[in-house]
Structure 1
Amino acid sequence: MLNLMTCSLLLLGALYIYFFSIKYRFLSALLVLEAMVLLLLIFTVALTFTMLDSLSLYFFVLTLSVSEAALGLALLISFGKFKGNDLLNSKMYNF
């Protein structure tokens, strides 16, 4: 279990760095965020099985990840309707 926790934390750090290097695509940024949440969920499962007795932390992170996914999808759809694509640029706030 410690190897799983260490591996998930290392991948989470790598995805964190990759997330801030994404500059042009909104969908890619959302996919990286979803992968980060999935790794956080794996980490909480490993933490729950090794140190804690209840699954309350797991359900809390699961609830936050579902709400984050719904909010991200709503933002992507509204951004796509507004701009016509998911490209991010510096002129996106000029009307």
Structure 2
Amino acid sequence: MINFLIFSLAMMVVLHMYFYSVYSHLLSTLIILEAMVLFLLLFTVSYTMFNMEGLTIYLFTLTLSVCEASLGLSLLMSFVKMKGNDLISSNKSLM
């Protein structure tokens, strides 16, 4: 169980570093964020099993991840509808 906790934290760190290296495509960043949320959910499940606590924090994290996914998808669709692709240029992203 401890090995799984360490593995999920290590994957979160790796995905966090990869998130900062891939920032030109919106779809790639959203997929990395969803993978980070998946490992966060696995971490909360293993942590609650290890400490014998309730799964309230798991349900709260799951609810926030669903909201984040729906907002990210709507942002992606509106961005693609306006620009025609998901390529983010740093100087024109605020316009």
What percentage of aligned pairs have identical amino acids? Answer: 50
Aligned twin of 1:69: 69
> In structure 2, what is the Cα distance between the partners aligned to 1:92 and 1:36?
24
Which whole-Å CA distance do the structure 1 matches of 2:23 and 2:35 have between them?
18
Q: Which moved more, 1:50-59 or 1:64-73?
A: 50-59
| Structure 2 CA distance for aligned equivalents of residues 68 and 92 of structure 1 | 20
Deviation, structure 1 residue 48: 0.8
RMSD: 1.0
| Moved >2 Å (runs of 4+) | 90-94
Whole-angstrom distance in 2 between the partners of 1:73 and 1:52:
35
Measured after TM superposition, the shift of residue 22 of structure 1 is 1.1
Secondary structure at the residue paired with 2:23?
A: coil
Q: TM-score, normalised by structure 2?
A: 0.94
Letter in 2 for 1:87: L
Deviation (angstroms), 1:31? 0.2
Partner of 2:31: 31
Query: Aligned partner of 1:93: which letter?
Result: L
Distance in 2 (CA, whole Å) between partners of 1:85 and 1:70 is 19
Counterpart for residue 18 of structure 2? 18
CA separation in 1, counterparts of 2:5 and 2:63? 21
Distance in structure 2 (CA, Å) of the matches to 1:38 and 1:12: 9
Residue 52 of structure 1 deviates from its aligned partner by: 3.3
TM-score, scaled to structure 1:
0.94
Residue segments in structure 2 that go unaligned for 5+ positions in a row: none
Q: Which runs of 5+ in 1 are unaligned?
A: none
